[in-house]
Amino acid sequence: MEKTYCSYHPTKPALWYCEGCNAAFCPDCVTRRDLGGNRKSTLYLCPKCGSAAGSLPVQNLIEPFWNRLPRFFAYPFTTTVVVFMLVLSLFMTLFSAPGLISGIIQMLLFGVLLKYCFAVLRHTARGNMNPPDIDEHTIVDDFIIVAKYWFLGAVFVAAGMLCLTVCTRLSLDIGFTAGMGLFAACIVGLLLLFPAEVIVLAANGRLLSALNPAVSLRMAVRMGSSYLLMNFFLLFLYLAPGTLGYFLRPYSPGFASTFLLALANCYYSVVAHHLMGYVILQNHDTIGFDVDIEEQNVCAARRDRLDDTSKGVLNAVNILIKEGKHGEAADLIREETHGDIANPELAERYHQLLKLTQKDRDMLEHAQRYLELLTRAGSMETARNVYLECVAADPSFNPRAQILFKIARSFSEGGNSRAALEAYNRFIRSSPEDPLVPKAYFLAANVFYEKMLSPEKAVKTLKRLMRKFPDNEIIPYAEKFLRRIEQHG
């Protein structure tokens, strides 16, 4: 299937399409409208014309499984799943001794593992890349699926034994080598078919469909090369625990090696079923498996935390920018927000647009609000840059007093001493009655002495501070600082 990419983000797969505008949109571009109701349905709109956008197949967002192999192996490493595997492995080890009771308990424990693995497979097949919760639903409910799985395994073993019997008899006529070669071919065919049977069972829950070779073979053929590649990796996952046990057994005590082998079985079983679930998701449209577009979370697009209004405006603005309509984009933000922009991303976009369109007066007016948003968010590097741009456009520009004070301190901490002194001086001149003015004098003196290596100017600044604010609480610190400067000559 050829992928459709977003008309405005060419590297991002699209999920919606507007026929009227002949444009495709990724989750970052499409406009959402919550329709409310019990099911909280959402209407997806074209950000250009506002009409309803049609959905593209969710498969358009799904990357091939071979591109995310490392994430399959990292999948079980969540606290809940790790604890589940450790506890299950411990009990499997404790009841590993031969005996009827131990055998029954082992079967139950293995059934619990299979039940959870089936939950992993179905969870992944519906587009959820996080492991399902370990609760009554995933461990106990619908336990009959485990019996069906076991029956599939028993049929597989019986088919293998039948192939061995038939090939052994045929070898008397066609030769031992040819007979065993035929047996190997039969086993390979069974191994290739078995995952398809498991997928059929997971897709519809019907054992008879899974046991029907025609159904499983048809599904495998529909998946094509991805199915064969999946089998290649599954083979390694199936062989990994036994291989690990073979190498560990000579170097570890019986209990330890048994526990590690059980843990490896749990781990690789979860990974294998996650892989199969993802292959179902990747091929869901060809095999008829439904995926709810609201549940799938495979796409890597970020989830905005903006309110619906800001998000819709930002989407429309981004499209206008892509089309080179900077003036229209700025006008749209102004009309929709009436100058009251609470979202930093939208504020940043508006600031850049005002610069591009050389609307200095609007830029300076907007900068008052924008600098407040930046300092509140701790984005001081951006705040410093915006402040310098505004001062260059209008030397008399003054943000709100507390904002200017924070920017001055940020300049000092960032190593721009001259800009820090200029900002402190601007703060003192513009807000002489502000209670932070004495501290601004003190910090400016510190910049002169520590960073500008100018003790004379530091002394002059401190004496001015003590003369203007003799009763301020910062005076003892200023006197101490002054003595230290004078002692060092």
Whether 366 shows a pLDDT value over 90: the answer reads: no
**Tens digits of per-residue pLDDT, 292-346?**
434 344 443 333 434 445 666 777 777 778 778 888 888 877 777 776 777 777 7
Whether 416 shows a pLDDT value over 80: the answer reads: yes
Domain boundaries, the chain: 16-61, 65-287, 304-397, 418-489
**Tens digits of per-residue pLDDT, 418-469?**
999 999 999 999 888 888 899 999 999 988 888 878 888 888 988 899 998 8
**Tens digits of per-residue pLDDT, 200-231?**
787 667 788 888 888 888 878 877 777 888 88
Closest CA to 198 of 182, 180, 216: 216
Q: Which residue has the higher pLDDT, 43 or 351?
A: 351
Which pLDDT value is given to residue 162?
Answer: 92
**Tens digits of per-residue pLDDT, 233-280?**
887 777 777 777 667 666 666 778 788 888 888 998 899 888 888 888
Phi and psi angles of residue 4, each rounded to the nearest 5 degrees, phi first: -105, 130
What CATH number matches the domain at 304-397, 3.40.50.20, 1.10.260.40, 1.25.40.10, 3.40.50.2000? 1.25.40.10
Residue 393 burial (C-beta neighbours within 10 Å; 0-12, 13-18, 19+)? middle
Which pLDDT value is given to residue 34?
Answer: 65
